[in-house]
Amino acid sequence: MRGSTQEPSSAVETPPLQPPRDGCATECQPQAIGRHPNLTESPPAHFVTYDYPNQIFMKEKKMTTGTLQGKKVAILATDGFEQSELLEPRKALDEAGAITQVVSPADKRIKGWNHKDWGNEVPVDVALDSANAEDFDALLLPGGVMNPDQLRMNPKAVEFVKHFTDAGKPVAAICHGPWTLLEAGAVRGRTMTSWPSLKTDLTNAGATWVDKEVVNDRGIVTSRKPDDIPAFNREMIRLFAEGSESEALRKTA
């Protein structure tokens, strides 16, 4: 219409993005890790890294620090251990106050298996030949195919594991780790889980195999794979703490 003027439409301003409540200046992008060498599909993102991971780890540390103060935990492993299944549980144990030592038939260092290739090396703290199982309060058995397959063929390694199960000391085994427990005669009558390929072996040895992320049955905690590590760590620390308390009561009785 003549003489009329059209007012320009006002632009809608988008409010500035606010940083997340946890204080991250940028959006934290999780990335899945902890893949098993035999796992073909992408695992759920149970293991994540963030731009500011300390906020996550500090929360976990507050819940666990001091739970296992002064308790000694043996980590029996050799070359080919699944890297995340040793390093992540060890970190959780250390944060809970435990003293962790790698016991191995190998000399000086052992090499991990990371996803589909060789990974990091870990120093050996105690040689298996000189290790005394009585010096330890609990035992951790990481997985990986090569690692427990070698250990179960080593009589000294089997005897080392047998000490813990015969003495009623707590044991945590993940993935293929229960192979060594089987060789030590410690699985009959127990409910357990593991990497699925061990199902027949464990069943034939008298165990009841279940497909669960973690199982805690009469002093032995088991899990299936790296994706289960958060649940595995939680139950492992709980069992080791209970086992330590039971041991203390036996000594004072």
Catalytic residue among 36, 115, 163, 175: 175
The rounded distance, in Å, linking the Cα atoms of 27 and 155 is 52
HSE at residue 90, side-chain half, CA atoms within 13 A, is: 17
Cβ contact 142:85 at 8 Å: yes
Tell me if residue 175 is catalytic: yes
The rounded distance, in Å, linking the Cα atoms of 195 and 174 is 8
Residue 94: strand, helix, or coil: helix
Beta 191-192 vs 171-174: how paired, if at all? unpaired
Tell me if residue 28 is catalytic: no
Question: How many C-beta neighbours within 10 Å does residue 111 have?
Answer: 17
The rounded distance, in Å, linking the Cα atoms of 168 and 158 is 16
Angle subtended by helix axes 83-95 and 229-252, to nearest 10: 50
Catalytic residue among 46, 115, 163, 176: 176
Q: Which residues are catalytic?
A: 175-176
